[in-house]
Structure 1
Amino acid sequence: MSNWKQRENFLVNVARRHLRGHKTFDLCRSHLVKASQISKGTVYNHFASEADLMVAVATAEYQDFLAQAHDDSRGFEDPLWAFLYHHCRRLSDIINNQRFVIARIMPNPDILAQASPENQLAYQQAYRAYEAWNRNQVEAMGEVTGFDRLELVTNFIRGTMINIDDAETCCDDATVYHQYCYAMTQLLGHSHRRIPEARELKAWFVEVRQVA
């Protein structure tokens, strides 16, 4: 990896740490100069506009989501359970680690259009790859006719993450995740399927934290 790419990754990670616990993307390039202790010229060379910074952060987020999704799909043979546990993990990250909810700003075609072609391409590749993982899991669950199930559940997941963050939920109540799984399963059209019980989710999160 080139020094240029390493420095850009560093800047993006500084930006992501700065945004933890924030409800809006209130970080601009001038703030990043101070937070990173890297010169203004260098920061502005990496991110030619505020939109470039936003899109670069979103790209890194979706790349992380995809990497975690692959880990989760390897951990569960049942695609429904892999899907449910993956999105529970994302929700837990917001609740416990105050991760910035990237769904607050992306996908947004207006922001994307203001970014450089390179950042647009990187974002589109990351977003589409993550969307493909979700669609593959839904298709593997078995066909349910009538609606675009992925669109329904994606909109629900996005809204839930924003609402949970706005409510500043600070507990780690396993019943919250159980209810989340129940709602996702209903929207996916698999209400007849067994979902993880609260005790199973609680035990899983304990194991995940021990590994982390």
Structure 2
Amino acid sequence: MSTWQQRGDYLVSIAQHCLQGHSHFDLCRSHLVKASQISRGTIYNHFPCEADLKLAVITAELSHQLAQTKLVEAHFTDSLHQFLYHHCNRLHEVVCKRRFSYVRDLPDEAMLEQASEQYRNTYLRVEQQYSRWNSQCVDAIGIVPGFDRKALVKSYIRGCMIEALDNVHQCGNIMLYQQFSFAVAQLLGHSDKRLPAGQAMLDWFDSQ
């Protein structure tokens, strides 16, 4: 491979592939040797500690989600629909593509302290960007007073993602996305608004 960055990106993509269908992060640097056909020494140079590999994968997943937000912004003008399509697509990727989700492995202070500065700073920057998008999207939908709705929705979405990781769902189950959308809209205080149709969501997911 021509550059250090390209090799690092390749190793992260191999790690993501290895984690497909896994309910939690159970990958070590040593696992990448056989999977990538790259020497242990090179892998350990790229990821000096296990926390670096974990943060690199989580950062890649966050970057993927940020890219997905651009797609919904390009296709939908309604903020509620942008928010619902985005998070339903996250759910769809876990259910139908068995994409790994880091929701059970959120970095804590101990992991961030263990990680190299490069991986820690990159993660914090990308995580902040993704959190800002979610927060601004909810603001645009309209804050209904009475509860900390951002925290409620964030917790609910995380719970749904964990449930999807732990259980097998039918890929074309329209009700899964309709129920998810209704619950999110209700937690946001906007259950009276028109929600995306389940089949329209499935068609859009398949077109991406």
- 2:53 aligns with 53
Q: Give how far 1:11 is off.
A: 0.3
- 1:24 aligns with 24
Q: Give how far 1:143 is off.
A: 2.5
Pick from 193, 201, 205: which aligns with 2:198? Answer: 201
- 1:155 aligns with 155
Q: Residue 94 of structure 1 aligns to which amino acid in structure 2?
A: V
TM-score (norm 1): 0.93
- 1:3 aligns with 3
Contact 2:89 2:205 in 1 (8 A): no
Give 1:1-212 correspondences, 5 Å limit. Answer: 3-196=3-196, 200-209=197-206, 211-212=207-208
**Moved runs in structure 1, 4+ residues, more than 4 A?**
none
For 1:207 and 1:85, the matched residues in 2 are separated by: 9
**Higher RCO (CA-CA < 8 Å; seq separation 6+):** 2
Q: Give how far 1:207 is off.
A: 4.0
Contact 2:55 2:107 in 1 (8 A): no
**Aligned-pair identity (%):** 46
CA RMSD after TM alignment: 1.3
For 1:107 and 1:186, the matched residues in 2 are separated by: 29
Q: Residue 200 of structure 2 aligns to which amino acid in structure 1?
A: A
> Residue by residue, what CA displacement relative to the aligned partner does 1:97-150 show, whole Å, maximum 9, x if unpaired?
101121110142222221111101000111110010101110001222222211
Deviates more, 1:101-110 or 1:86-95: 101-110
Q: Residue 186 of structure 1 aligns to which amino acid in structure 2?
A: Q
1:157/1:107 CA distance change after superposition, 3 Å? farther
> Residue by residue, what CA displacement relative to the aligned partner does 1:26-50 show, whole Å, maximum 9, x if unpaired?
1101111111000111100000001
Q: Residue 86 of structure 2 aligns to which amino acid in structure 1?
A: H
- The count of aligned residue pairs is 207
> Residue by residue, what CA displacement relative to the aligned partner does 1:50-74 show, whole Å, maximum 9, x if unpaired?
1100000000000000110121122
In structure 2, stretches of 5+ residues that fail to align are: none
Contact 1:51 1:114 in 2 (8 A): yes
In structure 1, stretches of 5+ residues that fail to align are: none
